[in-house]
Structure 1
């Protein structure tokens, strides 16, 4: 993960700043249980500043999280831990760890109001690791590609994204990091493909994708290989720039 971020995000090594051990210990006391190992790594590397990876309205800093609990903006809960405070004035939805959904030394990232109810969750990623990697690749690789498209992969299979692995390998793509069944991040020198599904949403027959490359013909070739070599249905919803 660290190799990926340092490679993809320009200037990150010079600008990221970690939280202090005392701040990390404070957050762990708020959580009331050991922090996921990946989150400890994140706080140690970016708990004070995320550098160029910063989000427009989301504040992941340890200082903001601790102050949110100290000011009783958020109440401590055994299950949920605030990991990003949303400063938007229009219906701010904050990011929380669901600590009862641990996965691969990490935990589920869900979105809800500060004093939200357990039933009002909007799950985002199965892990914070996948969220950060997805956003870094989208912001600093996919958006830089001359041609992009977005759409869905759908089918009747217990692990949809496993079906595209041999195809992507054959096309020269490598997985950026190890991921779970709801996410795949693929790169090669001239293209990047990001796939995402919503965990715990009850809809397990589709995954959204974003694909960026040198031209629409190059992207069509990649999608055509997936459609031909797998039983998945490939649907493109949007081209950017729009095709004439």
Structure 2
């Protein structure tokens, strides 16, 4: 009998394949023996979402790597086989390699960890490396780093921005005023009234919306107005859509 995490990872793969049909052939999971070896080296239980990730793409994850991370199981086995591995910290699920301020000649390594929230029980990416390189993600999703996403959410965010967003040539960013989840939800309802379908992988933090000719993302902008990113095939259509949304969404108050 499959676990909820197994079903969720299968759902994730199906969602990605909707926009990138060959995704199934670009990933490769680990064997039970490899996972058992890593588990023994870590010395503490591996989070179930991570075990499911290893089963489906622990050897190869196609173009889904994020945060300059190396998530291959052999990399984690080498990491935990070394004397420098910190076994008192939450389990590392990847090793980020990055140069400070874009300096490619000086590379640092930092574990990407998955830590369990005491209240919700969710496992979140809490030891995140520096923000994504600007050319990889539009501004709408870079702020995702600030909200401690789950591994599942981070993978879908990467997939959506890598495989769905580029299908649209024209893009625009709007802002609207909202101070509670309920107010953000009212903004989301306006998109649905305009024919957008809320993607099932949406969360209470980042909401994805699709229709045949356009896509939209409502994402957090901590301490700032809510960001609504739009993309469409046609520039005139995008202009009309943005005008309609600007008319119906709560405006951002003018700064004093």
Task: Sort the TM-score into its range (normalised by shorter chain).
Answer: 0.7 to 0.9
Count of aligned pairs: 220
Structure with the higher fraction of residues in strand conformation = 1
> Which position in structure 2 is the counterpart of 1:65?
76
CA distance in 2, matches of 1:234, 1:220: 22
> Post-superposition shift, 1:174?
2.0
CA distance in 2, matches of 1:143, 1:137: 9
Equivalent residue for 1:228, pick from 243, 247, 250: 247
The more displaced of 209-218 and 135-144 is 209-218
CA distance in 2, matches of 1:57, 1:124: 19
Contact in 1 for aligned 2:217/2:230 (Cα 8 Å):
yes
Contact in 2 for aligned 1:193/1:212 (Cα 8 Å):
yes
> Which position in structure 1 is the counterpart of 2:237?
218
Matched, 1:133 2:145: no
Deviations 1:168-187 (A, max 9, x none): 22222223234332111112
> Post-superposition shift, 1:4?
0.7
> Which position in structure 1 is the counterpart of 2:208?
185
| Structure 1 residues 180 and 65, CA gap change in structure 2 (3 angstroms) | same
Residue 19 of structure 1 aligns to a residue in which SS?
coil
TM-score by length of structure 1 reads 0.74
| Structure 1 residues 208 and 62, CA gap change in structure 2 (3 angstroms) | farther
> Which position in structure 2 is the counterpart of 1:109?
125
Contact in 2 for aligned 1:142/1:148 (Cα 8 Å):
no
| Structure 1 residues 160 and 129, CA gap change in structure 2 (3 angstroms) | farther
Residue 210 of structure 1 aligns to a residue in which SS?
strand
> Which position in structure 1 is the counterpart of 2:169?
146
Structure with the higher fraction of residues in helix conformation = 2
Residue 84 of structure 1 aligns to a residue in which SS?
strand
Q: Relative contact order: is structure 1 or structure 2 higher (C-alpha 8 Å, sep ≥ 6)? A: 1
Deviations 1:128-166 (A, max 9, x none): 222111111111121231111235444222445322232
Contact in 2 for aligned 1:59/1:84 (Cα 8 Å):
yes
Equivalent residue for 1:95, pick from 108, 112, 120: 112
> Which position in structure 2 is the counterpart of 1:32?
44
Residue 141 of structure 1 aligns to a residue in which SS?
helix
| Structure 1 residues 230 and 210, CA gap change in structure 2 (3 angstroms) | closer
* Structure 2 unaligned spans of 5+: 1-11, 101-107, 130-144
Residue 112 of structure 2 aligns to a residue in which SS?
strand
Contact in 1 for aligned 2:93/2:114 (Cα 8 Å):
yes
CA distance in 1, matches of 2:56, 2:119: 21
* Structure 1 unaligned spans of 5+: 114-121, 236-244
Contact in 1 for aligned 2:206/2:220 (Cα 8 Å):
yes
